[in-house]
Amino acid sequence: MKKLTKVIAAASFAAATFFTANVANAQTTPAKAWRLGIGVEGMAPTGNLHNISNFGLGGTARIQYGINNNVALTLTSGYYNFFGKENTTTITNGTSVTRITNKAVDFGVVPVKAGIKAFIADGFYIAGEVGAGFETKDAYRGLTGDYNKKATKLILAPGLGYSWSNVDLGVRYENFSGNNNNYGMVAARLAYGFAL
């Protein structure tokens, strides 16, 4: 987990450093203008989600409306897939040691989030989103060994990023809470956007 988080952070920093040389084309949000961005996401699970997955990939679409030249309202949806990881359990019975390896199921979430994006310098922005995450599978085993039922989670997601020309690079922490099972992720999003 720590290694994956460092890789995502390093890749985000490298991409931001490479592209920030073109500050003259830094993107803000024109007032009363609509934009659509299509993005790909790399995700490092945290909390309970890290118990069943080390890595996730996602695809999202974000529509953005500028309420002035530096602030925009956003609506984001898409699909997150967390790849199930292998877990090994060791059982000791006297002198006998048994190792059981099983693979967790892939776990999906459909997010629907509303947010705000505020540009604080040439192309740099801070953002916040709130919404719902709809789980697509029963992925967690409860204390009885039964799978917990898929649920709808409250999503809270603060982030920051940089936009230039038609490209947007952002990083955020996304928290999923509700139904006695809370988890989160650190995510990096690279998106291509265009005016509508």
Q: Residue 29 gets which letter from DSSP? A: -
Stretch 73-91: mean pLDDT: 91
Range among 29-33, 54-58, 134-138, 140-144 with highest mean pLDDT value: 54-58
Residue showing tokens 């460092």: 6
Q: Partners of 83 in the beta sheet?
A: 55
Q: pLDDT of 122-178, one tens digit each?
A: 899 999 999 999 999 876 554 445 556 788 999 999 999 999 889 999 999 999 998
Look at residue 35 in the predicted model and tell me its pLDDT. Answer: 95
Q: Which CATH number fits the domain 2-195, given the four candidates 1.10.357.10, 2.40.160.20, 3.30.70.920, 3.40.50.300?
A: 2.40.160.20
- Report pTM: 0.78
Domain ranges of the chain: 2-195
